[in-house]
Amino acid sequence: MQSFLWDGELKGFGVRVTPSGLKSFVVQYRNGEGRSRRIVIGRYGIFTVEQARIMAREKLLAVAKGIDPAEEPEPVQSNTTVRDVCEWYLREAESGRILGRRRRPIKPSTLRMDRSRLEIHVLPLLGDRKVASLKLRDIEGAQADIVAGKTSKPRVGGRGGATTGGEGVASRTMSTLHAVFEHAVRLGEIESNPARGVRRIATTPRERRLGRSEIDRLGKAMRIAEKDGEHPTGLAAIRFLLMTGFRRMEALGLQRAWLDSDESYVRFPDTKSGPQNRVVGRSALNVLLAQPLVERSPFFFPADWGDGPFTGVVRVLERVCADARIEDITPAHAAPHLRQRRGRSRLLGTDDRRPPGACRPGRDAALRPYRRGLAPSRRPGIGRDRGPAGWKGGYRAPGAGCDRDGWGRPPTNAL
């Protein structure tokens, strides 16, 4: 949180201190339209207090003459550093004054990731560089340093993860830096985006798949772990992830109010791509409904203490996978592959052979109402005993020949 110290001699003149300890002289005033404006004179150390006070007096004199100094070209523009732009972005975005791709304020979760990437990777490598002097080779060189692990750090304490490098981290960091510069250009903080045209390193797609035998071993290990006192919420969350392919925090942050158990779908008020409805199978639904209700907690998988969701699933999965002799699997790793094939995939050990007339997701019109969040009985022209007008083959009600969501049989025999 930035703080200000105002001069007792010249009203409107002061010094701003950022969380990183950077001190800058500023002038705050109201322009002819009555709007409060604040401009930066320069950094403490480059200017003395007396020099900055003289410049502030000149700015305030211009204001008295009806001139808005903020509208004038600022000679200090060329001295703007990457650190200045990053701090400006975080400050403006956290106050809701910067809109994201969906023309809405950037989400707090996105800002946490942005802050982490900027503070851990960008600022140590480029923070003191002037934006006007940055070249593409400088930015792509920083990307290569992140891939090589030059900004990696070990985990501190018993909680949280270690800061690592790698292709994925480097590519996402470059995307964040490019977006920060674009916002700064659009809102007039800098003249041009030095990251425009940067080639982000291509990430290597993960090809790791859980085989049928691994699913069997995982299921046995989970049943044994349950008897040995492993965390029940963690085991239930792992089962739900495997049955649905939800993203890890989508599953862990799932609230009871979002579930329509009668129609077997979850209405997410917000996701990475906006509000969504997700159909869940009967077995996954049973996992949710079996979770004990915790007073004052809205989550199916509540934390042991505090009012947030359970976050220890990674450690539980590590222990279970170690017992099952399965390597290189995490919730964030396995779930994307499950999302691609859902319950039909051999990842879940399910049988993809359907009886004649069984519903097929992505093809049958009968499932479209579910994707839109409306049950067939609520959709005109669609009934529980018949299909929509003009659709041949009839409508098999959910649960007739397939799981309620039409994605094959849940792996109850394995998990």
pLDDT tens per residue, range 56-81? 999 999 888 888 888 755 444 468 99
Residue ranges, comma separated, of all CATH 1.10.443 domains in the chain are: 212-378
Question: Which pLDDT does position 384 carry in this prediction?
Answer: 37
Partners of 278 in the beta sheet? 266
Question: What is the DSSP annotation of 129-166?
Answer: SBGGG--HHHHHHHHHHHHTTTT-B---SSSS--B--S
Single pTM value for the model: 0.55
Eight-class DSSP state of 99: B
Count the helix, strand and coil residues of the chain and give each as a percent rounded to the nearest 5: 40, 10, 45
Each residue of 129-171: pLDDT tens digit?
Answer: 999 999 999 999 999 999 999 998 776 655 555 567 789 999 9
Q: State the amino acid at position 401 in one-letter form.
A: G
pLDDT for position 69: 86
Q: Which residue has the tokens 């109850």?
A: 412
Per-residue pLDDT, 160: 53
In percent, the amount of the chain with pLDDT more than 70 equals 75
Six-digit token string for 281 = 């199978």
Topology classification of domain 82-186:
DNA polymerase; domain 1 (1.10.150)
Tell me the CATH class for 3-72: alpha beta
Note the CATH number of domain 212-378: 1.10.443
Residue 110 burial by CB count (10 A; 0-12/13-18/19+): exposed, middle or buried?
Answer: middle
The confidence band for 364, taking pLDDT boundaries of 50, 70 and 90, is: very low
Average pLDDT across the chain, whole number:
79
Helix H, strand E, coil C: the string for 75-94 is: HHHHHCEHHHHHHHHHHHHH
Quick one: pLDDT at residue 350? 35
